[in-house]
Structures are given as C-alpha cells and as structure tokens.
A and B are shown apart, each in its own frame.
Chain A
Amino acid sequence: MDGVSIPLDHVLLLSALLFICGLLGLMMRRNIIFILVSLEVMLNSSAVAFVAAGARWGQADGQIVFMLILAVAAAEVAVGLGLVLQIQRRFKSLDMDDANRMRG
C-alpha cells in the first residue's frame, strides 16, 4: 500500500471514543430520539473497528460485516422509529423516564 497509512491503534482509539460517546449518550439522555442516535453512534463505532481490522489483515470480512451492521442499523431504526411514534402517542412525551410502567 502507498501513501501514509493510518495506524490501527489510532482507528481503534477513535472507535473506542465513539463507542464511549454513544454509551454515555445512551446512559444520560432521556429523549428517545437521542437514545436512538447514541445507539447509531455505538453501532458505527464498532463498524469502524471492523473496517480498520479488515484493512489491517487485508481481508474482506471487515467490510462485509460493515455491510451487515448497516443493514442491522437500518432495521433497528425502522423498529426504533415505530417505537418512537407509539411512545409519543401513548405518553405525549419522548422522555423515556415517563415510560416506566413496568417498574416492580
């Protein structure tokens, strides 16, 4: 390969940072839209790690899995947005802490 290659460590670091951002968002945001966004961020952080790993070992698997993750994310968003609509309709809010009827 020509040119400057980005070291794997950096990509993994980026992936980890993105994952932590997404995780923190998931744990801290109350709005369901932002929770879904955080989930997307987390999914994509792992996708970055796969792509980088695939490039590092020179195999196509990483990119294949990235395609899979894209499909999963699309499906997840479809379900997630459906949930968002239902929650908005039932609770008249997007605050997930209001949807706590299943508390013990």
Chain B
Amino acid sequence: MLKLLPLIPLFPLVSSILLMVTLGKMPRRVVAILGAGSVGLAAVVTVLVGLTFMASGQPHHQVLWTWMRVGDFSPDIAFYLDGLTLVMMSVITGVGFLIHLFSTEFMEDDVSFSRYFAYLNMFVFAMLILVMADNLLLLYLGWEGVGACSYLLIGFWYQDPANGAAARKAFVVTRIGDAAMAMGLFLLLTELGTLDIQPLTEVAKSKWQVGDTLPLIACLLLLGGAVGKSAQLPLHTWLPDAMAGPTPVSALIHAATMVTAGVYLIARTHELFLLAPIAMLVVAFVGLITSLMAAFTALNQHDIKRILAYSTISQIGYMFLALGVGAWAAGIFHLVTHAFFKALLFLAAGAVIHCLHHEHNIFNMGGLRTRLPVVFWSFLIGSAALAALPLTSGFFSKDMILLQAYKLPGAGPWLWVGGLLGALLTAIYSFRLVFVVFFGEAKMEPDKLPGIRMALPLSVLCALSIVGGWFALPLSSVFPATGDHHPSHLVEGISIAIPLIGLAIAYLIFLGGQLNVEGLVNSSGGQRLKKFWFSGWAIDWLYDQLWVRPYKFLALILKRECVDDIYNTIVSFSQFLFMALSHTQTGRLRWYATSMVFGLILVIALLQGVIR
C-alpha cells in the first residue's frame, strides 16, 4: 500500500493539467467531477496509505528518480512518509476535498469555472509535494509552487485591478521571506553538504553544538521563509489583502494549508532549531507578538473575511509560540484543529457572502440565525472552536500550547500571560462576529439558501471541529517527548475560564448591551486607537513610507541612465536634421526652380574649376 504514495500528488496534477489543456471547453459537470474527484481520490489513497503506515509505524522513504546531478549534489525526487507528513497530507487532501466540493457550488456561476479548478488542483499538488518532500530542495519547489498558485488565485478575478494589486503584494512580500529561506538552504548545503532532511539533521547534530552561530543563522534564515509564508510579523501584511480571492480559496490556501507551511517547515527542521535556542525564543516571541497584534486588529474590522484573515494570523502566531517553546506536537495539533475550524469559518463566511449578494460588511448583516440555520450552526461551532470553548477541538490544542508555554523556564509565564490575553481577545472577536452577523434585527434578506454541496462540507467540518481534538495525532515518533508534569490546577483553571470570560464580554457588549463601550470608543483617544488598530497597527503605512516610496523615488531617479544618452543623442541629431531639411520643402515651385539654378551654377563652377 505504501507504494501508492506517489499517486496522491499525481491525481490533482493530472486533473489540473487536463483542465488547463482543455481551455475551459469541458462541460461544468465534468470539470466539477474532475476537480473535486481528483482530490477526493487523493484523500482515499491517503487513508489507505495512512492505515498501512499506522500498522507498521515505520517511516517510509521512496525515491522516484534523481532530479538532477551537479557535482556531488544530486537531489532526488523522493518522498518521505512519517507521522508529521501523514497528518499534513490528511489535512490537505481531506479538508482540501471538502473545500473543492464546496467550491463546485460556490463558483458554479463563474465564467472561469474550469480555470479555478485547474489552479486549485495545482495548488493541492504543490502543497502535497511540499509536505511529502524528502529533501529541502523538493520542499522548496512545492513552497514556490503554492506561492505561485496563491498568486494566481488571489488575482483570480483579475478584471478588478485591486485584486491584481493584492495578488502582487502577496507574491512580493512572500518573496522576501523566500529569498531568506533560499539563503538558508545555501548555507545548509555548503556547511552540511546535503539537503536530504534526515541525513541533514544527523550531520548537523554531529557537526554543530547547541548555541553555535551557524545553526542560529541558518534557523533565522529558515524562519524568514516561514514568517513570509505563514504571514507572521513582520511579513504578515499580505494576508488581509489576499482576501480578494474567492472565499473557498481563502479557506484552503489562506487558512487551512498554505499559510501553515511555515509551521510545517519549522516542525520538519526542529532538530536544527533545537541547536539554536535563541532562534527558538525568536520564534516564540514572533508568534506571541503577531498573535496579539492581529487579535487587536481583528477586533476592529468590519469585513467578515478580514476578521477571519487577522484571526488566522493570530492563530498561526499561537502555532509559532508552540514551536518556539519546543511544543512541536502541540503546534502541529493546533495546525490541524485550526485547519478544521478555520476552514469551517471561511466556508460559512463564503456561504453568507454567497447568499447575501456578495455583502462583506458584518454591520449590514444581522438576524441570519433563523434565515440561514446551517450556516449559523457552522459559524457557531467554528467560533466556539476558535475561541477554544471547552470540549471543542480548539480548546485542546490551545490549552496544550498555553500549558507548554507556561512550563518554559524563564520567559514561560510571560508567554503564558500573553497567550491568555490573546485567547481572551480571540473569544471576544469571534463571538462579536457571531452576535453581529446572526443575531439582532435583519438588515438584508438572503436571496438563496446553501445547497447540499455547501451544506455537506460544512456539516463534516462542524463534526471535525468538535471531535478533531479528541484523538492523539501520530506524532510521538517524530518529535522528542516533552515533560509530562502538569502545572497547578489554578493555571489550568485560568486557561479554561479565559475563553468563557471573553464570550461573556462579547455577549454583554454586542448582544445584551449591558456593557456600554460607546463612550469609551467615541472619546478622542478611543477613536484614534480604533483607527490605528483598524489599519492593522499602521504597518502598511509604515512599509509604504519605509520601502515602497523610497523604492519608487529611486526608480524615478535611476530611470535616466547615462548609457542611454549616447543613443538619445543620435536620435535627437537625426531629428534635428529632419526638421532642418523638411523646412526646405516649402511646396513653392519658384523656390525649387531657384535652388536648382543655384545648384547648377555651383556644379558648373566646381567643374570649371572656378571654386577650388
């Protein structure tokens, strides 16, 4: 069964190529079956492979062929299957299939139906390559592949220039991180002589000591790539704008899978990070600060998708926090549960947008509880999991992260307090969303109801969002075991109580109205703070001032090149000659006759030797 492994990325690839070469000439029904079916098949094969793997428990290594051979360096096209890969593959194909199914209804009126599925299948292929890769070079291929597909899908509705700008922004910003990551790969290759992940970690452990400079640099460079892809500070600015794409794309790429690639990368190279404790601390603080900043921003947005985008940034911050404190399994666990409930939330948001004439502003919605019951329950369950209410999947993963953070000697309790503050904010903004959109009086009437192809993925994801945290992931063989001594009951109690407090606050402010914050918000300081948070801590403005404007100014200066002057002189000289000679063409017959006479006189004079 393990031999079937290469089939998993093959199905989406074949489907994508078929959809590309037929140029949208296939009937929609065939496109839908091909697009969603190929990912469904991949999911089935993943289950088969997974069952076989779970039975043996041994990592499986499969070389397909040698990619290229340059001197001593010969990376293979090879797959490596262990618990981490299996978890990622299950999320990608499983959640991916549900989102594809949802898309067949969401996008059914779109003119570019076939192009959409071609891109989406290509994305699934690239993402699978990313997680299955046995060496970092192949991983990088998948990494760039998902970046390209993300670009194509953000700018899917390319007729609107704003969408194109958002796609470009995503591409350029992640490119900065990718450049850092490429440098990290070069460093690893020159220092350790290989990019195959398993030998690489062995060599690194034997060659480097804990606390050396080289692993620190390598880890920070890899972190650069992870930060770009996973939308963490300081390269997070692209994700909110990436919401310009279709909503299922946001669910698949910008919530469930691609943005967690950074988390996967760090988890995959965790042996390297263990050699660089400073890098791990940087990871933890990047995660914590990002998560808090994004949570404050999410609290002030009114576009339903932007709220979810900032919430994604915030939740990935939690995963980084977990990785930074060495709770690798907790980070991946949160990745999985987050993939469930955030995909659910995005799809539910997509259903709301689909049924409400593409309305995005939550304050124009309201009272949808009775009108769209399926969506309401999906949103409620998703928000409960996002807020980490007890017994939902998000509760287990977030709780695990917070407890592990608390146990970290030194900065641990501070990280824990920061994480709790983030959890409180998460609960407030997620239930603000639920209360504003689904309760209160109705402001808009839905013009259609979600069909079975929308309701089914929502129901499955609902179930997964609840029970997804009840089972242990097969990660114990991948990551070193973390100490299992439990902190005091007080610590546990607090982390259970915080989301409930957040829920209560959200209820009192946005539904019950007992807690009136109008005065606070409308004071001049409150207004200014609100505007500041609404703009995402003015980071877009800062980058515009720091990078974009100076770059444009430089480009303006450098537009005039001195090498061009030579060619420009030739051009202007011939233009001058043209102007001068065209003046002699007066159109007057007498003038021509006279000039001929004088010309003749001149010629005769020359011939006769009068002029010498």
Residues of A within 8 A of B (CB): 23, 26-30, 35, 96-97, 99-104
Contact = CB atoms under 8 A, between A and B. Distances in A.
A88 B57 CA distance: 106
Interface string B72-110: 000000000000000000000000000000000000000
Interface stretch (B16-24, B251-259, B590-598): B590-598
B582 A23 contact: no
Contacts of A29: 590
B584 interface: yes
A42 to B, nearest CB: 11
Contacts of B583: 104
Interface in B555-592: 581-590
Contacts of B582: 104
B585 A27 contact: no
A37 B583 CA distance: 29
B597 A96 contact: no
Nearest 8 CB-CB pairings of A with B: A104-B585, A100-B587, A103-B587, A104-B582, A102-B587, A96-B589, A27-B594, A103-B586
A29 B588 CA distance: 12
Contact of A26 (B581, B585, B588, B593): B593
Given A96-B589, A96-B590, A99-B589, A23 B597 contact: yes
Contacts of B581: 104
A104 B584 contact: yes
Contacts of A102: 585, 587
Interface string B468-508: 00000000000000000000000000000000000000000
B588 A97 contact: yes
Q: Most A CB atoms within 10 A — which of B582, B585, B586, B588?
A: B588
Nearest to A100: B587
Contacts of B590: 26-30, 96-97
Contacts of A28: 590
B contact face: mostly helix, strand, loop, or mixed: helix
A30 B594 CA distance: 13
Q: Most A CB atoms within 10 A — which of B585, B586, B589?
A: B589
A30 B588 CA distance: 10
A101 B585 CA distance: 10
Contacts of B597: 23, 27
A27 B587 contact: no
Contacts of A27: 590, 593-594, 597
A23 B588 CA distance: 16
Contacts of B585: 102-104
A27 B583 CA distance: 19
A31 B585 CA distance: 20
A102 B594 CA distance: 17
A100 B586 contact: yes
A46 to B, nearest CB: 14
Nearest to B589: A96
Contacts of A97: 588, 590
Q: Most A CB atoms within 10 A — which of B583, B585, B587, B594?
A: B587
B589 A35 contact: yes
Given A100-B586, A104-B586, 12 more contacts: A26-B593, A27-B593, A27-B594, A28-B590, A29-B590, A30-B590, A35-B589, A96-B588, A102-B585, A103-B585, A104-B583, A104-B585
22 contacts: A23-B597, A26-B590, A26-B593, A27-B590, A27-B594, A27-B597, A28-B590, A29-B590, A96-B588, A96-B589, A97-B588, A99-B589, A100-B586, A100-B587, A102-B585, A103-B586, A103-B588, A104-B581, A104-B582, A104-B583, A104-B585, A104-B586
A69 B167 CA distance: 82
Nearest to B584: A104
A86 to B, nearest CB: 14
A93 B574 CA distance: 38
Contacts of B584: 104
Contact of B587 (A23, A26, A101): A101
Contacts of A23: 597
Interface in B290-333: none
B182 to A, nearest CB: 59
A99 to B, nearest CB: 7
B576 to A, nearest CB: 14
A100 B593 contact: no
B549 to A, nearest CB: 47
A26 B600 CA distance: 15
B582 to A, nearest CB: 3
Nearest to A29: B590
